[in-house]
Structure 1
Amino acid sequence: MNILFVCTGNTCRSPMAEAILKDKNEGFDVQSAGVFAGEGHPLSAQAREVMEEEDVETDHHSQPVTPELLEWADLILTMTERHKQALAMQQSGYEEKLFTLKEYVLISDEKWERLKSLYSRVEEKRNCLSQEHEGDIGDKWREEAREELEEIEEIEASLPDVNIMDPFGADIDIYRKTYRELLEYIELLIGKTDEKR
């Protein structure tokens, strides 16, 4: 299984997640990238220090998210809901495999299927309306998809916090907390993907 972890600059959270999963040696192919990443930047100094403390090897250089990476991935796991939304807006066609790390491991498949179905119906209604009005629909689509949007809001309100803490610019203790949070959810990820393999 090919897994792509995504954060903002690809110098803290997503490369830490990549290194942790690679260290677990569970038969995954793993890469990481950033929604706004530059090319070739090293892992942040604090992230590197924490990885060394934990004896997790990493030789990381940042890379931006590309269509090729998204195509390569069987599963795209972002660090926050904002990263997920940014990817969905920038690149369409990957919704079926795009989740935050935490929501992927914490939310039941039934709830996901319902959400995906609702999102698809909203998108269908928006596309149909756009074709009928030659693209000029403003917020008309929201009224057209009101029931679906209300149910989406209700389901999403019941979901847990799906964001991984951002340590950028913080002291080393925050990086350690982020490492422990990533480790917890990556262990859950391994368990969930083992069930599906």
Structure 2
Amino acid sequence: MNILFVCRYNRFRSVLAEGLFRKHNKKHKVKSAGLIVGSPIDANTKQIAKDLKIKIKKNPEPLSSKLFGWQDLIIIVADNVPLEVFRKQQNVKRLKLWEIKDTNNDNERKPIANKIEKKIRGLIEEIK
């Protein structure tokens, strides 16, 4: 199964989801992308990834028709991504919505990362 994690910018939530899924499950392929790509992945996100012992990509990746064609399941990690983007695509096979809030507050990021990891563990159990 090919799983695509999506958030607004592909700088925090979806990047961590990709890394965490890859850490906990080698059976399925995983990628992440964002609706808007501009700013790079910041030092705080990199530190959280290091603390979680996961590898993350160096640069955000935009959502593309190639990724839509690749995926078997899209998980919208974010709470600020319009579903219309996905409903218009013919290639969307399965869609899950996690609705995890974004933050610019560094103190709130670790709890969000823990919430993402909990969701990842549940997903892995679900798709075994």
Q: Quick check: TM above 0.5?
A: yes
The answer to whether structure 1 residue 47 and structure 2 residue 45 are counterparts is: yes
Distance 2:124 2:26 in 1: 8
2:86 corresponding residue in structure 1: 88
Contact 2:100–2:112 (CA under 8 A) maintained in structure 1: yes
**For 2:86 and 2:79, how far apart are their aligned partners in 1?**
10
Q: Which runs of 4+ in 1 moved over 4 A?
A: none
Aligned partner (choices 98, 102, 123) of residue 166 of structure 1: 102
Instruction: Give the match for residue 5 of structure 1.
Output: 5
Structure 1 stretches of 5 or more lacking a match? 103-162
**Looking at CA atoms only, which structure, 1 or 2, has the larger radius of gyration?**
1
User: What residue is the counterpart of 1:22 in the other structure?
Assistant: 22
Give the Cα–Cα distance (whole angstroms) in 1 for the partners of residues 50 and 26 of structure 2. Answer: 21
Give yes or no for the alignment of 1:71 onto 2:62.
no
Q: Which amino acid aligns with 2:101?
A: M
1:36 positional shift: 1.2
Among residues 182, 188, 191, which one is paired with 2:116 in the alignment? Answer: 182
| Aligned-residue RMSD, C-alpha | 1.8
Percent identity, aligned pairs only, is 26
Structure 2 unaligned runs (5+)? none
Q: 1:44 Cα shift? A: 2.0
| Shift of residue 95, structure 1, vs aligned partner | 4.7
**TM-score, structure 1 length as denominator?**
0.59
- Residues 1:175 and 1:92: Cα distance change in structure 2 (over 3 Å): same
2-structure distance, mates of 1:20, 1:177: 14
Query: Partners of 2:25 and 2:89 in 1: how far apart?
Result: 31
Name the count of aligned residue pairs.
128
The structure, 1 or 2, with the larger RCO (C-alpha pairs under 8 Å, 6+ apart) is: 2
Cα contact 2:16–2:113 (8 A) shared by 1: yes
Contact persistence 1:77–1:99 (CA under 8 A): yes
Give TM-score scaled by structure 2 length.
Answer: 0.88
